[in-house]
Structure 1
Amino acid sequence: MTPEKSRLLRRVVLILLLLAFVLLFIFDVFDFLHDRERVENFFNDSGIFGPVLYVLAFVAAQPLSLPGAALIIPATFVWSWWEVLVYSMLGGIIASSIGFIVARWLAQDWVRKRLPQRFIGWEKRFVKNALSPQ
């Protein structure tokens, strides 16, 4: 990715995050989250969309460095512990996959600039002999 595209991508992501934050305020999402009963009723009444929204929230929380416990503990008020485990694991796997894709293909130059030189040598060897025993 060229430096111009990389800068453009960073600006687009920043603008989208700011827009999302403003929309959360406009639609009073933060006030909604303070009422435990409303949140429970919302997710229980949402049917299949409740778990889908939870997984999407879990995916969105990772790039924001929000601790998983901030979503897992409240989710136990809505679903059983094993359902929360499945939904959280699914969200974590999806978020990690997206993070890998972004780091590997979209932000490769940005990440490479921040890596110590010794890791770059390892990366070159890995690219050349990915799974061979040499």
Structure 2
Amino acid sequence: MSATTRSLRVARLGVVALVLLTLAGAWSFDVFAWLSEPKALAHTLIEMGIWGYLAFIVAYTVLQPFGVPGSIFIVAAPLIWPWQTAFALSMIGTMSASVVGFSFARFVAKDWVSARIPARFRKYDDALEKRAFQTVVVLRLVLWMPQVLHGFLGVSKVGFWTHFWGSLVGYVPPLLFVSYLGNEMFDGAGRMQPGAWPILGGLFVASLLFAALARVFERRRHPCKSLSNS
């Protein structure tokens, strides 16, 4: 085994150990219990003032890729801050968490993650190879930010920057909707209100429209490739 290979293996083990220590620390300090109640989360972050922004982003970035639902953060944000601030923080946190999840799957635990990707995701392999940007946009629009999707994209052949920009475009409509209409969709405890269903219907329609626009954009970027796939 070469020195480079040994160094890489040590680095990977170090990252895995850091992740496990972070999750153990979050458990010991009851962070998961704190996150399970959006109202309590909102109260704590408000008390922190401007440091609440940083705490929100760091907690989102570190915990979401390894099990904590991202919906906790994006539902809590508009209950705490004005929608513009909520949208900005939700976008930063979601993108950071996506990059961490993607990078962990690609550079640290690729074989382990690949063996645990559900078979239903494999149907997107061909689409990712032929229309990577468009497919990432659509997957993020429809599925948002589940950990398994971070992992699937990480072990796929999608380039890092294609994943980054495709995810960014795909996240804009749902996060904008939730940030702007969050107070109408959820009560102070984070429970969905009856009026949320028409909003979710509008979000679904907007997502389909956005996916169509992404397809048009991709065809304009690669007109020859689009013709060959027709």
TM-score, L = length of structure 1: 0.61
Task: Show the counterpart of 1:43.
Answer: 45
Tell me whether 13-22 or 31-40 shows the greater mean CA deviation.
31-40
The 1:33–1:95 alpha-carbon spacing in structure 2 relative to 1, beyond 3 Å, is closer
Aligned twin of 1:15 = 17
Structure ranking higher in helix proportion:
2
Q: Residue deviations 1:90-128, cap 9 Å, x none?
A: 33455567789x68xxx4xx7xxx9xxx9xxxx9xxxxx
- Using the TM superposition, give the Cα deviation of residue 36 of structure 1 relative to its aligned residue in structure 2, in angstroms: 3.5
Mapped to 1, the partners of 2:86 and 2:30 lie a distance apart of 25
The RMSD of aligned alpha carbons is: 3.4
Report the equivalent of 1:88. Answer: 90
Q: Which structure has more RCO (C-alpha within 8 Å, separation ≥ 6)?
A: 1
Match in the other structure for 2:76: 74
Q: Give the partner amino acid of 1:29.
A: V
Deviation at 1:56, TM superposition (A): 1.5
The match for 2:61 is: 59
In structure 1, stretches of 5+ residues that fail to align are 124-134
Q: Counterpart of 2:80 in 1: which secondary structure? A: coil
1:61-88 deviation per Cα after TM superposition (whole angstroms, max 9, x unaligned): 4643766434211222212222111112
Name the SS for the 1:76 alignment partner: helix
Q: Equivalences for 1:16-31 in 2 at 5 Å?
A: 16-31=18-33
CA 1:58–1:29: 2 relative to 1, 3 Å: closer
Separation in structure 2 between the aligned mates of residue 91 and residue 5 of structure 1, nearest angstrom = 30
Report the CA distance between 1:35 and its aligned residue: 3.5
Identity %: 29
Tell whether the 8 Å contact from 2:53 to 2:89 is kept in structure 1 after alignment: yes
Normalising to structure 2: TM-score of the pair?
A: 0.38
Q: Is the 8 A contact 2:36 2:72 kept in 1?
A: no
* SS of 2:66 mapped into structure 1: coil
Instruction: State the match for 1:33 in structure 2.
Output: 35
Counterpart amino acid of residue 50 in structure 2? I
> Residues 12 and 65 from structure 1, CA distance in 2 versus in 1: closer, same or farther, beyond 3 angstroms?
same
Measured after TM superposition, the shift of residue 14 of structure 1 is 1.0
Q: What runs of 5+ residues in structure 2 fail to find an aligned partner?
A: 115-128, 130-158, 160-230
Q: 1:23 to 1:62 in 2, by over 3 A?
A: closer
For the residue of structure 2 that corresponds to 1:10, the secondary structure is helix
**Deviation (angstroms), 1:43:** 0.7
CA distance in 1, matches of 2:65, 2:58: 12
